[in-house]
A and B are shown apart, each in its own frame.
Chain A
Amino acid sequence: MAENKKLDRRDFIQKGARITLGASLAGIGIAAATKASAEKYVWQIDPFKCTQCGRCATDCVKNPSAVKCVHAYDLCGYCDLCGGYFKPGANKLETGAENQLCPTAAIERRFIEEPYFEFIIDEELCIGCGKCVKGCGAFGNGSLHLQIRHDLCDNCNECAIARVCPSDAISRIPASQAYIIKGNFTETQES
């Protein structure tokens, strides 16, 4: 009899604790759900804030980085003297490696017609260092810019680059608009 009572009491405590825990879980769940959104979020670089510090190349958990240079052709001046393609001080405007700015020679220069050249990024080679972006921003039109490529990005819970980005340029944006492409950006803003 006494034994039974003891068991009952134990059961009772267990049950009480279970209900309390269950209730607090439900509480947390509901409270959090009011702050939650059904939308998926992904990390992206705001090219207008990025200062090309180089950490996108060094700090991504992926190697090579999931950040790549993207070319907004809409903004490009198609310059012969591309500030993003040639090293500062390159005196010969030729495609020789010694004249190129990109450390991995990931930019292809294609002649279109006098005097215009097209510049194409080879994402297989690009490591997202942002050197060309800096050059293009300083001496050109700023058509080159860095973006997190979502086919490569793991969408880490906390982006390892965002943590160290000195310009606070990386934030989470809705996956339905997963890029901030410089040229397209105004288009979507205006339309």
Chain B
Amino acid sequence: MKKILSRIFLLLLFSFVFFAAQSQQRFPKPEFESGYEQPTPTTPEPRSAGMEWADVFVLLAVLSMASWLAIKKRSRKGMIWLSLFTLIYFGFYREGCICSIGSIQNVALAFFDSGYKLSLTVLAFFLLPLIFALFFGRTFCAGACPLGAIQDLIVINPVSIPSWVRKTLDFFPYVYLGFAILFAATGTDFIICRYDPFVGIFRMNAPYIMILLGVAFLFLGMFFARPYCRVFCPYGVLLNWMSKFSKWHMTISPAECIKCKLCEPSCPFDAIEIPVNEKERTESSVRKNLKRFSFYLVLIPVWILAGGFALSKAHVFLSRANPTVYLAEILITHPELKTDTENLDIQTFLESGKSMQELVEEATLIRNKFRRGGWYLGGFLGLVLGIMIMNQFTMRKQEIYEPHKGNCFSCARCIDYCPVEKKK
């Protein structure tokens, strides 16, 4: 709505400015007698749309390759080479843009702003890895994601951190995803792109704070493997869902698992499920667990309501992230700022000829979007939290060593550890 309003407004303004400009443009330039030839301004072409499609095909090829390497060829070595290619192509050559992670925002914005032009190539980048994950697991993470690749290649001494910490951290990607969609859908910001820690490395150029973040992530990544993937990546949430129900996920053992435990330490991401001791499963413990499980199941609607309520209450605060809302707010609460000649945003607004009322109307519309968005986001996060807590009390039945289909990146490290021979 903001876009539409501002567009109408700008159209009006523009038609006026344009007229003025046009009349000036008809003013003839001097007639030169010395045979001077007037140059025309150069307009270097952007990368062609064809090349964008080429990127889509490269992605498709890399995804197929990664899936083949993980499931059929079962080769970690191949995967390393593939990640290197991805790092060079999507990372350093394409400078980390366009990427599937960021494409979430484009898709979200396209749904909420009818004026937004979503590129088909971007949509392809959004969909392809998810489709692959639905069939082959997160092979995108293993081989086709430049962010994954750079982190995967610097894993030096991964430590396994306590499971309760891990599970708590698991919640964060949902928060990131939720906020990224909220900010994208309200036309406020693309936070995934803005805080992409590795894009600065790919471009060898970034603002100071992003360099700091990039270095922090790389340092962290030496001990805590793939920190971005595990604690931040919002696209990972979607991939996780898909992969959990994937049709042909890679397995550690080429045949029957013999429970030799050899693969147990191989996964730097703690993604291997360890068989549970059936003896612990006593009658009373089952009953106790079931009781708790049902209790937390019933509690889920409460979480949803509480979350929705809390975030919709916070919408005033959240909406300040939107520049229009923030500008309107500071102008109302601090009218004296209008005389602050150093403040570009305020001065530009005052000179734009736009009235305060228009600005406030625009801001109110956006703020209302935030109120509604707050309900959805809060409800979603409440639901996720509720399910996460509830899941603590499911009786997992695990008999063999196998990757956790949701969390496993299909990196194929564990395969080399399994002593079982492939059946001929």
Closest to B49 in A: A40
Of chain B, the residue at the smallest CB distance from A75 is: B25
Chain B: interface residue count, which band?
35 or more
A183 in contact with B41 (CB, 8 Å): yes
| Distance of A165 from chain B, by nearest CB (Å) | 9
CB neighbours of A168 from chain B (8 A): 6, 10
CB contacts (< 8 Å) of A153 on chain B: these are 46
* A63-B205, A74-B38, A157-B193 known; A183+B25 contact, CB < 8 A: yes
A186, closest chain B residue (CB): B25
Q: Is there contact, CB below 8 Å, between A32 and B24?
A: no
Chain B residues positioned under 8 Å from A138 (CB to CB): none
Are A182's CB and B205's CB within 8 A? no
Q: Are A155 and B97 in contact (CB under 8 A)?
A: yes
| B99: chain A residues within 8 A (beta carbon) | 157
B97-A154 in contact (CB<8A)? yes
Q: A35 to B94, alpha carbons, bound, how many Å?
A: 25
Interface pair A154/B29, CB less than 8 Å apart: no
Distance A186 CA – B244 CA, assembled complex (angstroms): 56
From A36, A40, A112, A186, give the contact of B110 (CB < 8 A): A36
Q: Roughly how many angstroms separate A43 CA and B122 CA in the complex, as a whole number?
A: 15
Known: A158-B189, A158-B193, A183-B41. A41 touches B117 (CB 8 A): yes
B339 within 8 A of A: no
Closest-by-CB residue of A relative to B106 is: A157
- Known A-B contacts A32-B118, A36-B119, A154-B97; the reply to A163 vs B189 at CB < 8 A is yes
In the complex, are the beta carbons of B49 and A175 less than 8 A apart? yes
CA distance A93 to B102 in the complex (A): 51
Interface residues of A (CB under 8 A from B): 14, 17-18, 21-22, 25, 28-29, 31-33, 35-42, 46, 48-49, 51, 53-55, 61-63, 70-78, 112-113, 116, 118, 120, 141-142, 149-151, 153-158, 160, 163-164, 166-168, 172, 175, 178-179, 181-186, 189
The 3 lowest CB-CB distance pairs between A and B, nearest first, are A150-B46, A151-B44, A166-B348
* Chain B residues at the A interface, C-beta cutoff of 8 Å: 6, 10, 13-14, 17-18, 21-22, 24-27, 29-30, 32-34, 36, 38-41, 43-49, 52, 95, 97-99, 102-103, 105-107, 110-111, 114, 116-123, 126-127, 130-131, 134, 189-190, 193-194, 199, 203, 205-207, 241-242, 244-247, 323, 344-345, 347-349, 351-352
20 A-B pairs within 8 Å (CB atoms) are namely A18-B247, A36-B117, A36-B119, A36-B120, A39-B49, A39-B117, A48-B18, A55-B344, A61-B206, A74-B25, A76-B29, A78-B30, A113-B33, A142-B21, A155-B47, A157-B190, A172-B117, A181-B41, A183-B25, A183-B41
